[in-house]
Structure 1
């Protein structure tokens, strides 16, 4: 393949913060980015070439995107795989990851069944349709995490069910097709950003520790504060997952490290993922640049760690939806170890992801667990000094 510049145009279904960061990452490479998103002036618009305003299931908008692009991808699982495949075929442009992969991942039950069929370890799970069925599963598992099969994200669509008498209310809260997983008492949550390129090439970024509260990712620590055996097993499991998935690009593979040293797959995202935002400062090539490289069939960039890094998410801390004005940014900008990323969302609401900051270990650190503990504390302190509430 011969690459010439100016580069190709990439069409992205979705124009949220992930589309924004894709645009930021590949502008230096001469790649033009056009996004499709239903929200006018979506977060990606300041950094991409153009936005098509349309729904993720808008056939005309998807076809317009395909007609203007040399390749298609998506940054949100709400993208319609059938429309993307149809538009890609009609306009003779590749779409990655493969729409079949998106179909599999969109339904959490189908996703888990595909992993089991491939011999990949996952928590115990079961489809549930009635309160009685969920009660039996909760008794069998000793507690369960009830998940909406489709559409859940950032804690939405997940309801912990600790006793059978909570089953009916949990199903009502989900309000649709659901599955239940055993409620694990895990050691930690970890993640691997996996990468598939042209000609079957695969790479992984260093194993990352992910820290959640209320089912929402709060911080990521890279490399993970775990032992070498777990790191090796997580990398092996991640590569097995990549073998199951069709198409090129970055895949966010979320994992559990169990108390007895097992590594189990939690969920997969067929796109760059919040767990990998640290790669912008902490890896030789960010997950965003590598995702675009892979989709275009370009050579992949190295995934090596440049510096230990901690990412802290900046979430909405208001009690209601309101115009977004963030204060306290001065202290983050003064911190020599910190980099700040604003997502450009006009409104803040409770726990909405509005940005993130990444703290990297200064040169000369020995990168022991204590260093990463300290880095995590510093990142949290900087993040906790930010607020959307009135001063």
Structure 2
């Protein structure tokens, strides 16, 4: 959703500043790809030598995300810092900002709130933003009580969980002890929702400007995001409600940048906030081909205080993640690539990871549909969404990291 365009508040020249990024995974890689045409150089900090972002970034500092000397070096070499992973240390970022005077966006206080799922939910609930019922649980007995009260809960580690890690569904009271042991410490229990679908909105905060990308539908299995389709296959009222909730969320967060806001649509048509990521997000990868300005370019612009890019939707777009379909870690070799490259309106994205593990995100592919011009601007309806999603799934299923042929693979549930 666009706000009214404002005249630039700053005078810019190129080449631009250097952006330091804590994290050098696929998000750092795509940030560097988006920054280069803007004349912005990117330096990443990541503990993995030759990380996925290294081939496209200006340089890499090999250090842990919470390494004081590494983060200080990043600040000394960058004009501004941001992060693409929640494992960054907000206390260290605060200290480095104080020592060096280098700005950090989004604000480390936002990262501190987001990192603790219980604090995140408490902050949202206090602001009147709709969330599932939740409570803190400190032992197996507390888990058992919440399971009996809600007829099942999702048990979540308060810190450190992502991509399904740190989340354990608990359907019966008898399973409470084992689930709490699996989490391994302080946790939060959230009611099971009989939801209609999962949604996401990529939101943007700039200097005095707030924007949102159109509502996306996210499709998970085994707690891992498999596909997205934009526009979401929800009714217009639900899609607009998701936009409104996302803007309410953005009002509670400090700092410029892109935010991934994950949502539930309930059977009754309510929209509840699941989780927030203070960075570009997998649910926003569709914006590279499907939006006027990608979430990655927008994050670069926003963090630097530059005019924001347009968040207009250009065409129906589906994303299928390329996950490791192997049973054990091996050298990453993807077969069947020619099927994607020869398909119309299909786009392949390789993350540059050298090893493939079971269900590891190795890349994604995007399939776009037709653009419809309405009232002089780009707009789309949801009718083409199932078509582009099915095409993305078919192309994804023609790829494999296994040795042999695609036909050797067991069938995969859609």
Q: Structure 2 length as normaliser, TM-score?
A: 0.93
Return the match for 2:391 from 360, 378, 390.
378
Superposed CA offset, 1:307-341 (max 9, x none):
11000000000000111111010000001110000
The CA RMSD measured in Å over matched residues stands at: 1.2
**1:219 and 1:313 in contact (8 A); partners too:** yes
**2:220 and 2:226 in contact (8 A); partners too:** yes
Corresponding residue of 2:7: none
Kindly state the Cα deviation for residue 226 of structure 1 after the two structures are TM-superposed. Answer: 0.8
Instruction: State how many pairs are aligned.
Output: 390
Do residues 266 (structure 1) and 274 (structure 2) align? yes
Structure 2: distance between partners of 1:41 and 1:75: 17
Do residues 235 (structure 1) and 219 (structure 2) align? no
Kindly state the Cα deviation for residue 84 of structure 1 after the two structures are TM-superposed. Answer: 1.1
Kindly state the Cα deviation for residue 77 of structure 1 after the two structures are TM-superposed. Answer: 0.1
Structure 2 stretches lacking a partner, 5+ long: 1-9, 374-378, 405-414
Corresponding residue of 2:54: 45
**2:353 and 2:362 in contact (8 A); partners too:** yes
Kindly state the Cα deviation for residue 373 of structure 1 after the two structures are TM-superposed. Answer: 0.8
Kindly state the Cα deviation for residue 364 of structure 1 after the two structures are TM-superposed. Answer: 6.9
Corresponding residue of 2:169: 160
**1:323 and 1:347 in contact (8 A); partners too:** yes
Structure 2: distance between partners of 1:238 and 1:308: 21
**1:337 and 1:360 in contact (8 A); partners too:** yes
Kindly state the Cα deviation for residue 107 of structure 1 after the two structures are TM-superposed. Answer: 0.3
Structure 2: distance between partners of 1:238 and 1:222: 16
Kindly state the Cα deviation for residue 369 of structure 1 after the two structures are TM-superposed. Answer: 3.9
**2:18 and 2:40 in contact (8 A); partners too:** yes
Superposed CA offset, 1:240-278 (max 9, x none):
000000000000000000000110000000000000000
Corresponding residue of 1:106: 115
Kindly state the Cα deviation for residue 363 of structure 1 after the two structures are TM-superposed. Answer: 5.1
Structure 2: distance between partners of 1:290 and 1:86: 27
Kindly state the Cα deviation for residue 362 of structure 1 after the two structures are TM-superposed. Answer: 3.4
Structure 1 stretches lacking a partner, 5+ long: none
Kindly state the Cα deviation for residue 375 of structure 1 after the two structures are TM-superposed. Answer: 0.9
**2:231 and 2:382 in contact (8 A); partners too:** no
Q: Structure 1 length as normaliser, TM-score?
A: 0.98
**1:337 and 1:362 in contact (8 A); partners too:** no
Structure 2: distance between partners of 1:352 and 1:124: 31
Superposed CA offset, 1:106-164 (max 9, x none):
00000000001100000000111111110000011111000111010111111100110
Secondary structure at the aligned position of 1:45 is classed as coil
